[in-house]
Amino acid sequence: MAVHLRYTRNVFTIPDEVVPGNSTDKQPVRFHLAPAEGPDVARLRSVITATAGVMHGDWSPEVQRAVTAAFSHGAPGFVDTVERIEGLTIPAALALRARLIEKLPTAIRPGTGVPVEDPEAPIAVTSGRAFAAIAGFELVLSTRVAQEILRLTNETGIDPRFFASPSGSPAAETPAATPTAVTAAPTAPEGLATAASPDPTAPPPDGTTPLAPSS
């Protein structure tokens, strides 16, 4: 039987609770997403866990270690699952820190004609690799994108309908076991003989051993 596997992809418009007014913007922030594979599933789950650890719960040493590890190893999960990004820019200073650019761009200072560094210049983030580099700075956005990728991942797989019985040949249902009323046998009091044991014989008063009955 031939099986056609699914590969669910989606263009995800970031909801307004994450980016206010995004749904009605002329250039909304949108992520072109693909499902996660193998280790990326664990990486993206760790991003969600890390964000929850930062925002909620007791900041114990155990939580701190788990969150640190999650941020260290989770961000690469966006590299292959985010195919393209529209409408997202970051300040040049952040892009420099994330090593997305090699140096700050310059702008002409008004009235002087002198070029100066512009740390606020917008730098477009357009790929999963670039987003992975800044994921730790945008916790809420990273978590929401990770959740959507995992949703796509759950939708991708073998359709269970491929395993249905052929038309006209329904699979035989396993008959349910017929309940049987069973009365439990009463437990014999401690020290008394059971039905499977011989009746006890009292020893004679003189302490002698009784003779076995002749056959």
Residue 176: predicted pLDDT: 43
- pLDDT confidence band for 93 (50 / 70 / 90): very high
Mean pLDDT of 162-179: 46
Q: What percent of the chain has pLDDT over 90?
A: 47
Give the span between the Cα atoms of 210 and 202, in whole angstroms: 10
Distance (Å, whole) CA 82 – CA 34: 6
Read off the pLDDT of each residue in 189-195 and give the average, rounded to a whole number. 42
User: Using the 8-state DSSP alphabet, how is residue 190 labeled?
Assistant: T
Cβ contact 6:155 at 8 Å: yes
184 has pLDDT over 60: no
Q: What pLDDT score does 89 carry?
A: 97
Which pLDDT belongs to residue 145? 96
Rounded to whole angstroms, how far apart are CA atoms 95 and 134?
A: 8
Answer yes or no: is pLDDT of 3 > 70.
Answer: yes
- Calculate mean pLDDT across residues 79-103: 97
Residue for token pair 């999650």: 70
CB 89 within 8 A of CB 125: yes
pLDDT score, position 67? 81
Distance of alpha carbon 193 from alpha carbon 201, whole angstroms: 11
- How is residue 186 written in tokens? 């009463």
Q: Of 81, 101, 84, which Cα lies nearest the Cα of 92?
A: 101
pLDDT digits 0-9 by tens, 107-160: 988 877 888 999 999 999 999 999 999 998 988 999 999 999 999 999 886 555
Query: What token pair was written down for 86?
Result: 């529209």
Average pLDDT over residues 12-16: 97
| Domains of the chain, residue spans | 10-88+125-162
Given a cut of 90, whether residue 82 has pLDDT beyond it is: yes
Evaluate if residue 182 carries a pLDDT over 60.
no
**pLDDT value at residue 101:** 97
DSSP state of 119: T
pLDDT value for 132: 95
